Amino acid sequence: MTCELVALCVDANDPAVLAEFWAAVLGREVEDDGSGEAVLPPDGEPGFTIRFAPTSEPKVGPNQMHFDLASTTSQDQAATVTRALERGASHLDVGQLPQEEHVVLADPEGNEFCVIEAGNGFLAGTPRIGCLSSDGSPRVGHFWSEALGWPLVWDQDEETAIQSARGGSKISWGGPPYTPRSGTQRWRWHLAPPPGGDQQAEVERLLGLGASRLASGRRADGAVVLADPDGNEFRVLPAGTAG
């Protein structure tokens, strides 16, 4: 019984402000679940919660992953860009070419994201968060395919992508060259076995697939902290945790 991807945890210097920004951009509502974190619940099924956790660490360098936001029309793309800029986003130059139609932005805390043009075939049929675009090796793409039980929907030229058989957002890994790591990892996945599942058995399965332990024992919230084959931190929560 494989783990489910239940949440994306984003470290934020001001979780409430950043959550409100992304709520406006994604069309979601911020919830307070009493955890001290700002929470955006999923926008459909399948989907994942976005949690904004407080940190005092400044952002240093680019994130290992970023959102690629899908657009239904050119007007929809323009409206998303305008909405983001009005709420504190800024344009970002990452070396994109003048002829490229996607728009690269940074949120109020500098997290990179792209607003992809309408008609992009790779994002066809996906929700607003079309893809979590990641910096990583083919090995890590294969690991996450096995870890989540999501089929590979792209696997060539050292690039990989996976998507749940039920649809939803994709996760992709761009292959080399890789951006050097800097600062702390501010975005990380939270996984959990479904209700009735065995957390320890899942941890052992993930270790067998190539994960490694980043800390001994469990955190106070019951989570086990692991790293994928590229060294990216993720957490396995107790069975049945919703995110």
180 upstream amide cis, omega within 30 of 0: no
| CA–CA distances in Å: residue 219 to residues 33, 34, 54, 188, 228 | 19, 18, 17, 15, 18
Domains (range + CATH), the chain:
15-173 (3.10.180.10)
Q: Which long-range contacts (CB under 8 A, 24 or more apart) does 211-218 make?
A: 211/143, 211/147
Q: Give me the residues paired with residue 44 across strands.
A: none
Q: How many whole angstroms separate alpha carbon 67 and alpha carbon 20?
A: 16
Residue 189 has pLDDT above 90, yes or no: yes
Query: Rounded mean pLDDT of 150-160?
Result: 97
Q: What is the pLDDT of residue 1?
A: 65
Q: Of 235, 46, 232, 64, which is closest to residue 143 (Cα–Cα)?
A: 232
Q: What is the pLDDT of residue 121?
A: 96
Residue 2 has pLDDT above 90, yes or no: no
- Among the residue ranges 20-24, 106-110, 237-241, the one predicted with the least confidence is 237-241
Residue 215 has pLDDT above 90, yes or no: no
**Global pTM value:** 0.94
Q: What is the pLDDT of residue 94?
A: 80
The identity of residue 121, as a single letter, is: G
pLDDT in tens, 71-99: 999 999 999 999 999 999 999 988 777 77
pLDDT in tens, 11-62: 999 999 999 999 999 999 999 888 889 999 998 888 999 999 999 999 999 9
Q: What is the pLDDT of residue 71?
A: 98
